[in-house]
Amino acid sequence: MKTVRFEPINESLEVRTQSDILQALLAKDLKVLMACGGKGVCATCHVYIKSGMDMLTPHSDREKRSLGRITGADKRSRLACQARVLGEGVTVELPEGMYIERAEDLITYVGQRAATNILHPINGSVLVARGKIITRSRIEELKSLNVEVAKLRESV
């Protein structure tokens, strides 16, 4: 068993050696959309490794490709579904924002200001910035997202 630390929520979890970070996030009840079903091709399980990168399995080619198109990814980035824990000292930082899967996910928020950035599930770009009002017209503009996610699902 190994201990993984999560920030900024300041919590830890014991995980089995070789289990992936995604399992740890789910065990902590941290909502992960898993738009690609854990196949390493979406942005919804993107995390930053604050320490212990060398205690994780190396990036696969697929993960490198996916991280290459995620907005906000840098050398600390991993896809939680692809990174397995090998040793102690791993600290995971959760990116700020909420991923959506379908434009309609925002309907209950119409007329409200976004409490956090609303993020694209495939590339992580900001669809609605924190503080901006969520409008019906913005939701209409985002309908192409539904097609993109359906295509992603077909391709994996």
Pick 45 or 100: Cβ nearer ligand FES: 45
Q: Does 81 bind ligand FES (CB under 6 A)?
A: yes
Binding piece for ligand FES, criterion CB under 6 A, among 36-44, 49-57, 92-100, 108-116: 36-44
The secondary structure of residue 2, as a DSSP letter, is E
Pick 59 or 139: Cβ nearer ligand FES: 59
Q: Does 97 bind ligand FES (CB under 6 A)?
A: no
Compute CA distances 79 → 34, 47, 66, whole Å.
10, 6, 9
Contact in structure between 24 and 15 (CB atoms under 8 Å) = yes
- From the CB of residue 74, how many other CB atoms can be counted at a distance below 10 Å? 8
Binding piece for ligand FES, criterion CB under 6 A, among 37-45, 89-97, 100-108, 131-139: 37-45
Pick 23 or 44: Cβ nearer ligand FES: 44
Q: Does 45 bind ligand FES (CB under 6 A)?
A: yes
DSSP codes, 90-111: EEEEPPSSEE-SSGGGGGGGTT
Q: Does 117 bind ligand FES (CB under 6 A)?
A: no
**Binds ligand FES by CB under 6 A, chosen from 40, 52, 97, 124:** 40
Cβ within 8 Å of residue 145, ≥6 positions away: 100, 101, 102, 103, 120, 121, 127
Contact in structure between 127 and 100 (CB atoms under 8 Å) = yes
Q: Does 36 bind ligand FES (CB under 6 A)?
A: yes
Q: Which residues bind ligand FES (CB under 6 A)?
A: 34-36, 38-42, 44-45, 79, 81
